[in-house]
Structures are given as structure tokens and as C-alpha cells.
């Protein structure tokens, strides 16, 4: 699985979600790419109020609109995707 974490430098929530994903990489076969939205004006405009954003295999699955994704939510989604 390919996971893209959209965030920015000095974002403690982004750092926390990155750590969760790296922990899950011990259990699931995944490749993580971290994208700093401040390097792309379009991404910055689109995501600046909802980071961290997690995309899995090209699909945005989690946006931090009402809460930041939890370990349990990530684990459930990865389990669902690997059991297909």
C-alpha cells in the first residue's frame, strides 16, 4: 500500500500521525511519502485547514476536519484494505 501524509513542518499533529503510520508499517506492507503542503500553493490552499491528511493508494481517506485520525482508525482501514 502507498500512503501519502499531507502536512507541513512544525505541525505536531502531522508528526503524531506520521509516527502512527510508521508504527503500523511494522505490521502492514506500506510505503510512506510525506508531502509538505507549503511547497505547493494548490495543496496549501486545499488542505491548510484540514491537515494532517492521509491518502491510501491514491484515495484521500482521512482529513482532519472534526478530529485527527487515530491509531485504531488507521489500523481498521489498513486491515480492511489488506483483507480484500
Tens-digit pLDDT profile for residues 4-54: 999 999 999 999 999 999 999 999 999 999 999 999 999 999 999 999 999
CA 43 – CA 9 distance, rounded (Å): 14
Q: Is 12:40 a contact under the CB 8 Å cutoff? A: no
Q: What is the pTM of this model?
A: 0.94
Strand, coil or helix: 62: strand
The CA-atom distances, in angstroms, between 25 and each of 28, 39, 46, 65 are 5, 26, 27, 25
CA 54 – CA 7 distance, rounded (Å): 9
Amino acid at each position: 500500500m502507498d500512503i501519502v501524509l499531507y502536512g507541513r513542518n512544525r505541525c505536531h499533529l502531522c508528526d503524531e500521525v506520521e509516527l502512527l503510520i510508521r508504527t503500523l508499517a511494522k505490521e502492514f506492507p506500506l510505503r510512506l511519502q510525506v508531502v509538505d503542503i507549503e511547497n505547493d500553493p494548490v495543496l496549501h490552499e486545499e488542505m491548510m485547514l484540514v491537515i494532517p491528511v492521509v491518502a491510501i493508494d491514491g484515495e484521500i481517506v482521512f482529513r482532519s476536519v472534526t478530529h485527527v485520525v487515530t491509531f485504531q482508525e488507521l489500523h481498521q482501514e489498513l486491515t480492511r484494505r489488506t483483507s480484500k
